[in-house]
Structure 1
Amino acid sequence: MKLFALAWVGGSVSHIFGVDVLKAPDRSLYCCLGSSLLILFLLASSFESKPYEELNRIQNFVTYHTQDVYMKGATHRGPDYALVSKVYHKAIKVSQDGDFKANILYEYFPLRKTSTIPCGTTTFCRDPISSVLVLRSFFEPTKA
């Protein structure tokens, strides 16, 4: 079962957590991160392939043409709830003044099949480690 939790910061999606979990009998699950309660939303009962353009639309409503965005990818060896909570609260703090918007996407999905392809076979090495994408959007007044 594919579940996502969304947390909002500064009017935009700041965290999207995608996790595979077993179906709960009452179809409701909660993930407590520090003092913040993230409600998990059921989006699909199975995986499906989607074109990049469709996935990209998740963040399109908070971006605009010529907007400055800094992106940094990193690996995330597993759910470290203390670290995720710390990052979540830092993103809120950074986004409060309105100059920056911090967006963090955690990808949790099975990588066993992907990691069976040897490194060097494809353009990018496939590791059995989940990814984190950090996006910071801002406005550069010199471009106005």
Structure 2
Amino acid sequence: MAAGMVPPLAMALASTLLARQKFTPVERENGAAAWLLGASFISEGAIPFAAADPLRVIPASMVGGAITGGLSMLLSVQSFAPHGGIFVFFAINPFWGFALAIVAGTVVTALIVVALKGIGRSTKDAAVAEDAPAATVAA
């Protein structure tokens, strides 16, 4: 469960706190919602980010998820609830290990996404494409 929480939490962290200027206004708005989605283990909070920029978001999420999963195993974290995110904290043992793994994976993923956003596509280009009518973009 822990690794599935990382992508939306990391996108929320990157787009609302770490590097707002590297994200479009719509992505920043999605980032605000991704905080609650990630905390609830609703991984779909990262889909808008992955759909808009798959070559940066997906590899970063894979690295952060792997770190989270590895730490969870290393710390012998057990979850007795199949779903629920932080809201089933009472069914996770040890909870501190669970939280540590999620924080580590989230921070690593967010930092990688921010670093990769600095390569290639600019926010200005993305904002222009987002604001342009579909006919203009297709032409």
TM-score by shorter chain over 0.5: no
Q: TM tier, shorter chain?
A: under 0.3
TM-score, normalization: structure 2? 0.26
TM-score, normalization: structure 1? 0.25
